[in-house]
Amino acid sequence: MITVNCRDVPSIKSSLAVYTSDQIGAVPALKQHEFMLSPVDDEDVNPTEVITAIKMFLASIGCERHFAVIQKNSVITVVSLDGYKLETHPQGKSDQFFSCIHCGHVTQFETIHNNHMKIHYL
């Protein structure tokens, strides 16, 4: 299990968790200032792949030069290098994500989540 500390980038924590988990094939679990990535199968989550995915996400939003991605044991931290603050405008309910407690499927739409949950009880 890998923990990603997002204290310097709270506005993109949810999006970063979804992007990273999709890239490496892991199950995200959101916390207040961090998210955790658990493996889907018996293999461990590769921290190098997580770091690469985080850097790709930062590059996609044009902020890669303002942040460093540092690993210490099983904790990866996104650190602001120059005090740069990411500002995003509140988007209402679109920033909420629904996660399946059985398999980790993540979606931002409640109806899709509810339909997905039904397949586990067939």
pLDDT digits (tens, 9 = 90+) for 50-96: 999 999 999 988 888 889 999 999 999 999 888 777 765 444 444 57
Is the pLDDT confidence value at 113 over 60?
A: yes
Measure the CA–CA gap between 11 and 90, rounded to whole angstroms.
9
Regarding predicted confidence, which is higher, 89 or 108? 108
- Cα torsion 33, 38, 21, 51 to 10°: value is 70
Measure the CA–CA gap between 78 and 71, rounded to whole angstroms.
9
**What is the reported pLDDT for 68?**
92
- Which residues pair with residue 36 across a beta bridge? 3, 29
Residue corresponding to tokens 């899709």: 112
Measure the CA–CA gap between 76 and 68, rounded to whole angstroms.
10
In degrees and rounded to multiples of 5, residue 97 shows phi and psi of: -125, 145
In a 3-state reduction of DSSP, which class is residue 23?
Answer: helix
Is the pLDDT confidence value at 105 over 60?
A: yes
Report if pTM > 0.75. Answer: no
**What is the reported pLDDT for 99?**
83
